[in-house]
Amino acid sequence: MHLYIQGVEKTFAKVQALKSINLTIQAGKFTTLLGPSGCGKTTLLRILAGLETPDSGEIRMGKEYFFSSQLKVNKPIHLRKFGMVFQDFALWPHLTVFENIAFGLKATGQKQDLKKHVLEAIAMVRLQGMEQRYPHQLSGGQQQRVAFARAVVMKPKLVLFDEPLSALDALLRDEMRIELINLVRNIGLTAVYVTHDQTEALAMSDEIVVLNKGEILQIGSPEEIYRTPSHPFVAKFIGKSNWVIPDKQLIRPEHLQLEPFDSKMPYDSYEGIVKSTSYVGDRYEILVDTVMGRFTVYFDTRIPNGEPVKLYVKTQDIHEIKS
């Protein structure tokens, strides 16, 4: 079932963290709450978990209400039956892998077939043979898998992820990102994932919710959010933007090229001077000063600083923000 969030607001000491949030979390989908620090994404996640109480609004799944200011409903954490994976893993240091994963089942009295369920979860995250190890005997990636197994062993209606990969190094973060999304999709979970990392959001999500200053600015697939941002902040926060008209018309760097298009293809062109060239592995990122401002363009060879260039873009690739 879908999770419906309607009119949810939250204020901390006169600072409005969330402003009338209306959102539907699609069942079986991976939804990411994306935005900078202080945008309200973690507050919203904590409200879903039951760790914070909103000032108003309602949260329900089908006919089951988890919170309703009108109906005076506020279900405690343990009755919501959501799984949660924290940024710091939050593993009990004195408990083994097996005991950490079994903790929630024991705490809620679900002792029937406990060993079977825990071993299934351990196999799911490929930690067989490590059942009796303690957290300090595991790598960061292995600890992350234990935290995930602990969340899913309860067979939750929803799993909430609070920036779970931010504590890992870059290489391990990339590996765990692929592993995590595969696990979520293979199990068929409904997931809400909080991050400020646009790469994670674009790579992992079925749907992205972009927030800023407590408001939802845009909801859409990764492709929609990147290709057709509906708000200037979304365009600036996700990817790199070249502004033809500030906050109105933009060009993504990959749509600019240094050679003219077929004469039958409508295109625009801009003259400029190369300011700098950076090698980033699979391409060069070139900064070009134009009369519109500084543009970023991707190219396959280095261009000397100070070189005059002409940039070309198909007219259809100039995106107009209409908000």
pLDDT-derived band at 238 (thresholds 50, 70, 90) equals very high
pLDDT > 80? residue 64: yes
Token pair of 311, please?
Answer: 């940039």
pLDDT value for 144: 86
Return d(Cα 217, Cα 2) in angstroms, integer: 21
Token pair of 95, please?
Answer: 């408990």
Strand partners, 267: 314
- Residue 172, classed as helix, strand or coil, is helix
Return d(Cα 139, Cα 148) in angstroms, integer: 14
Return d(Cα 80, Cα 65) in angstroms, integer: 9
pLDDT value for 182: 86
Angle between helix axes 97-107 and 114-124 (nearest 10 degrees) is: 130
| Secondary element (H or E) of residue 224 | helix 222-227
- What are the residue boundaries of the structural domains of the chain, listed by start? 3-227, 241-320
- Amino acid identity at 242: N
pLDDT-derived band at 177 (thresholds 50, 70, 90) equals confident
Most confident stretch, 52-61, 79-88, 147-156, 256-265: 52-61
CB 166 within 8 A of CB 88: no
- Dihedral angle, C-alpha 58, 62, 66, 68, nearest 10 °: 30
pLDDT > 80? residue 159: yes
Place of tokens 């004469």: 263
pLDDT value for 274: 97
pLDDT value for 173: 83
Return d(Cα 129, Cα 120) in angstroms, integer: 13
- Amino acid identity at 93: P
pLDDT-derived band at 157 (thresholds 50, 70, 90) equals confident
Q: What is the mean pLDDT of residues 228-246?
A: 95
pLDDT value for 111: 80
Tell me the pLDDT tens digit for each residue of 260-287. 887 688 999 999 999 999 999 999 999 9
CB 24 within 8 A of CB 4: yes
Q: Write the DSSP symbol of residue 91.
A: -
CB 302 within 8 A of CB 258: no
pLDDT value for 165: 84
Place of tokens 């190890």: 133
Tell me the pLDDT tens digit for each residue of 201-233. 999 999 999 999 999 999 999 999 999 999 999
* CATH code for the structural domain at 3-227: 3.40.50.300
Place of tokens 């303690």: 134
Strand partners, 195: 34
Instruction: Give the pTM.
Output: 0.90
* CATH code for the structural domain at 241-320: 2.40.50.100
pLDDT value for 185: 87
Please list the alpha-helical segments (H only) found in 85-192. 97-107, 114-124, 140-152, 170-187
pLDDT value for 240: 93
Residue that wins the pLDDT comparison between 18 and 155: 18
pLDDT-derived band at 5 (thresholds 50, 70, 90) equals very high
Token pair of 78, please?
Answer: 């343990």
Q: What is the mean pLDDT of residues 53-69?
A: 96
Q: What is the mean pLDDT of residues 225-244?
A: 95
Tell me the pLDDT tens digit for each residue of 76-109. 998 898 998 888 778 999 999 999 999 888 877 7
- Residue 290, classed as helix, strand or coil, is strand
